[in-house]
Structure 1
Amino acid sequence: MFKSKTKYTWEGWDSSGREDWVFNVKHPCELIGVHAKLIDNQLREGEKIEYCIYAPRISSTSTPFGFKSEESSCGVCMTDNRFIVTKNRHIKDIAPSLTSIDFKDIVYFNIGSALLLSWVSIAYVQDGKLQQMPILFGSNGRHHFEKALRAYKKYCLGLNTEEFNFDTFSASGFIHKISDNIHRSHLKTLISQNERCILTFSCQYLWHKVTENRSLFRKSRESYVASKATVLFTSKALLIARDGLGTSVGNCANALNIPLDKVSSLFFLEEKENDNAIHKLRINFIKEKDPLDISLMSLDEKAEIFLNNIQSLLGDTKQKEEQR
């Protein structure tokens, strides 16, 4: 068995970045390849390590949801105040990269899978601009990234549910209300300890418009490309799980997690288009100047009433986040 002579467990091991498994370690020094030294040297005195992951490179460089990344092995270290991500493309003359993402700069994150491919993408603000940190990895390691994201969420501020007149539920007592098995699987693994579930509903997620060209004497007609989605509102986040399009339906899903303490305002509008009710969520963030627009269809009455009143719930978390 290989044995290092230094504090770095795998120093001297010639890593190709094509190891067979995604794994977690207790300290960055146990990571494979260049990731160990890069992250260890970045740690600050007194910084608490929450979770460390090594993910070997895979051949895929893009996902069905548009997230793209170069083929590279990755090291991820989550501490008590930031994510440290290293990437090594294993190409001569291309140096490994390191990115530090403070919790205060995170806006939202995505996690999803399509058969053997999985991904995480962290959206964060750097120098006033929204950036994405996508990480692609084998699906056999998805549970490690889910655990890291749950650990991050314990640092997110939540609603004081006792102030509002509605029932809340533990994840174990609520998750069965999500009817779609794949969406349920993706969402339940993102609910952190002490996070309370408030409402869930099924709907259609609208991707984009398409124009149907008709004959000379008939007007063109616009319609939407949509996929099945599930919305989950908790004491800490707005989560939306949605299917992929085309042949990926049933095999591909992505979950968006928007921490409520990152949201400054949320507007809910209803528009009529071609006899269809289009429900639009416009989410404004405390740090990011550009809003996130989400369009949904097929909402039930209970969901509409809740979303119309959602803005009144956000004041408490917004005030706490701005005071940080």
Structure 2
Amino acid sequence: MTRPGPATGSVSGMIELDGLTRRYGRTTAVDDLTLTVRPGRVTGFLGPNGAGKSTTLRMVLGLTTPTGGTATVGGVRFRDRARGLRHAGALLDAGDVHGGRSARAHLAALARSNGIGGVRVDEVLGQVGLDDAADRRVGGFSLGMRQRLGIAAALLGDPPVLMFDEPFNGLDPEGVRWVRGLFRRLATEGRTVFVSSHLMGEVEHCADHLVVIGRGRLIADETLDAFAARVGRAEVVVRTPEPAMLTTALADAGASVRPDPDGALTVAGVGAERIAELALGLRIPLHQLTPRTASLEEAFMALTAADVEYTAREGR
């Protein structure tokens, strides 16, 4: 059973980056990154391929040395912690496990090196649903099972800070749903949960806050709603038995109207109140009038377009 984490706002649960920079020769992977990842919420960590997300996580964990700036967990560099898993747990690469060991042996070795009792190994194996596979060699695990084992390792020290890099990869729908719920529960307990993923829909379902970087630089550090609102593409979904008449009226009022495959109209350029007024004046019945902001994926694509390092060209 997972024990309660630190109270929301506790310094022990904060990840703090101050001018964090990493260069490889002439290439700057992370560029003067300053931010605080706070407890009590799930923070999504997004950016195009090559944005510097994995490098940032590795610097937080002391696996990569910064060229400049600092990264601390609870005010202390992680590499200075004698028993690191009690302060922060992380899943960076589900495949980075000795295939000849059993899941239980892998976790037991981590527990011993961090002064964690053996009973905790069985607790986390149960928590991630690997009870029946505990004594099987990891080399025979599917990617989804390795992901669960990596999450178990992150939870092992019952830490206030948890970091996950692409945790949804290889999971079936039930596994994805379980991970979402796990992240939400851990945040509710007052822990810091920092999740990097390319799966926008999954981040949108579980995150409260976003940190977005591009080419190593900070683009956004704000709530999901605030990030989506930056695009300025508020739309209204409308359903009516008179779509042609309403489309003409909306176009005359300066709106743009896009017919959707399911028969609805997506309207931009005027708000829901104005649409309702126009429909009422023309006696056009409305069956749906739903304001809609840009999705996380739409906002992400719009706001990071200039920071995409690798793009595909359409074939002929």
Greater RCO (CA < 8 Å, at least 6 residues apart): 2
**TM-score normalised by structure 2 residue count:** 0.24
Higher radius of gyration, 1 or 2: 2
